[in-house]
Amino acid sequence: MKSLENYIQKGSFYKAVVEDGSDLIFIVDYEGNILYHNASVHDTLGYRPKSLIGKNFFDFILPDTLPILKEAFKQSQKRAYTQKIEFQFLCKDRSYKFLEFNAINLKHKEKLDGFILDCRDITQRKKDAEELVRLGKAKEQFLANISHEIRTPINGIAGMVTLLSQNQTPHEQDAYLSAIRSSAENLKVIINDLLDLSAIDSGKLKFEKIPFNLTDLLPSLINTFTYQAREKKLNLGYSIDDKLNKILLGDPVRLNQILINLISNAMKFTHSGSIHVNCTSDRDQKNVCWVRIEVSDTGVGIPMEKINTIFESFSQADASVTRRYGGTGLGLTIAKQLVELQNGRITVISQEQVGSTFIVLLPYTKTKSISKTASVTEKKNLESKEYALDVLLVEDNDINRLYAKTILKNWNCFTETAENGLVAIEKLKANNFDVVLMDVQMPVMDGYEATHAIRMMSSPLKDIPIVALTANATKTDVEKCFAAGMNDYLPKPFTPDDLYRKLFNELKIKPAHPQRKITPIVQAEKSYYNLDYLKEVSGNNQDFIREMVQTFITTLPQTLLELKESSTVENWDTLSRLAHQIKPSFTLMGLEFLRNKVAQIEERARTRTKLESLPNVVADFVKHCNYAIDELSRVKSF
């Protein structure tokens, strides 16, 4: 105890705490005159020891904030201790640093008019706070932007569907269908961007190592942008170094994705001139070829101060960019992360009103193989077979079910469907299947429960490959799929290529059961109906036609009952509405005679014309509809 008392009496603690401490210590009077400062002032602010003594503290404060600080000093004179007063202090190099002081008022204990100011450098903290605010605003802008981007194609689809339900000419119908297709594609791009970003962030993104040749990949990719370039009157071109006419090992799908994002970005911001993609061999090592790809445009360019932020998530060069050009602001982020995850680099050179060049460097393993990619070969083999896989499609949504069935039909797959997990289990017990495509969210029994039940069965049923079809592809959802016992997952919306790659390239599923003959579809005789229109719009897709006919047969009887009831009780508004509602169905089925009848019923009920005979007209119409339903029900093929 004695030695500690001596230590205090000698003032040894003063040097350890005040002189050698990291905090800046000032002693100032109430007027701001500096009477003392410690050595840390030199380390933080650049001033030599004792060089500020005799000067006034307020002379070093940022002028705009001086009145606020003086007021803080005045208030501090009334208190023994004051905490966390922020200010900006002039450094030796003429810059300002953010500091924060706690003030001990010497008046209270020492009866002296002054303060001990214990100051800390909070410059980094302020920068971090500003960055958080900036990112918060960027995310807020992103959410508003993505909401707009999603609503726009959805509104377009809804509007076109409404127009299609009216009596349009074939030319108008084609235009509306084209608009729907375009809106759906835009929506899919947005959703895929979000899913890709989620997969990258969760570390679940997989990269393949399959052979590919840039001289095959690039021309095909450029062709997909030809129409867009022609519309904007841009020159779109590419060049490939002869040294790159070789087979490389890597992930061509991800390379495609990188280039699509970069070319799409160039298309968006280039209004005249050209876009050029140049591929060269940057350096050729023993086993690795470094590919250099430059995407150059003559677009609006990027301001110098914005170049460092364009690759950030939720960020575009300016909020006005979003309003003017649209987009999610994720394309360049995804491109950068895809490049870096493959040990590559991406940089940009840009000048406003001149253009931009994005430069990608990627390492690919060299191979002596000269064969085309395995997927192409496998696809040809598959197409040459009369019959491919037995598939159980478990999906409760009619449109999603029809979409997947149509894709599988094109590959000669035999597809059984189930509307929920319980039905799927019963069908599995009764039939042999090669793979189960399992929707996740369904009534009665969902995909997780169904998969768990299947894995509890005896072999070989419990070993059947199960692929989750899920609209939720976040890290948590994907982990839940694997935990339930699923082999893999496919995010919705998926393309035919996505499904093909999953089944035949990644999971390598092959038929395990004897091939069955597919009954050829023949045209049946008919009198009431004409399915030429359905054949035309579906490319004579028999599954699609059967599904549409079945839906017509199933849903129409209830509406006919309501029609008859409405005419009996003379509820003309309901009668008109129901007639209008079912009118397009007769066009689809080629039931022109009945379509004309229901159009007359709609018009007479709406305008209250010849109402006395309308119930009899409705009864006659219902009778003929039942004939048509009966005829369609008896036909086994179309």
**Nearest to residue 541, comparing CAs of 389, 410, 637?**
410
DSSP state of 56: B
Measured CA angle at 138 (ends 133, 144), to 5 deg: 125
Name the strand (E) or helix (H) holding 310.
none
How is the chain split into domains, by residue range? 22-121, 127-202, 210-366, 374-506, 532-634
Instruction: Identify the pLDDT of residue 514.
Output: 52
Instruction: Identify the pLDDT of residue 79.
Output: 87
- How many angstroms separate the CA atoms of 63 and 58, rounded? 9
Measured CA angle at 424 (ends 423, 430), to 5 deg: 95
- How many angstroms separate the CA atoms of 426 and 422, rounded? 7
Q: How far is CA 241 from CA 35, 120, 256, 282, 373, in A?
A: 72, 58, 18, 10, 21
Q: Say if residues 338 and 254 touch (Cβ distance below 8 Å).
A: yes
- How many angstroms separate the CA atoms of 346 and 357, rounded? 11
Q: How far is CA 519 from CA 43, 388, 522, in A?
A: 87, 15, 9
CATH 1.20.120 fits 532-634, yes or no: yes
Helices (H) and strands (E) in the chain, counts: 23, 17
- How many angstroms separate the CA atoms of 123 and 126, rounded? 5
Q: Say if residues 213 and 246 touch (Cβ distance below 8 Å).
A: yes
- How many angstroms separate the CA atoms of 209 and 199, rounded? 19
**Per-10-residue mean pLDDT for the chain, 638 residues long?**
47 53 82 88 88 92 90 88 91 91 84 87 86 71 60 70 74 73 67 67 71 83 77 90 88 84 88 94 88 94 82 53 49 85 92 93 78 40 56 83 82 88 89 90 88 90 90 72 91 78 86 51 47 69 77 84 88 86 78 83 87 87 85 69
Q: What CATH number was assigned to the domain covering residues 210-366?
A: 3.30.565.10
- How many angstroms separate the CA atoms of 511 and 501, rounded? 16
**Nearest to residue 532, comparing CAs of 638, 625, 628?**
638
Residue 254: half-sphere exposure toward Cβ, Cα within 13 Å: 24
Q: What CATH number was assigned to the domain covering residues 22-121?
A: 3.30.450.20
Q: Is the peptide bond before 460 cis (omega within 30 degrees of 0)?
A: yes
- How many angstroms separate the CA atoms of 48 and 46, rounded? 7
Question: What CATH superfamily is the domain 374-506?
Answer: Response regulator (3.40.50.2300)
**Domains 127-202 and 210-366 agree in fold:** no
Q: Is the peptide bond before 493 cis (omega within 30 degrees of 0)?
A: yes
pTM, two decimal places: 0.40
Q: What CATH number was assigned to the domain covering residues 127-202?
A: 1.10.287.130
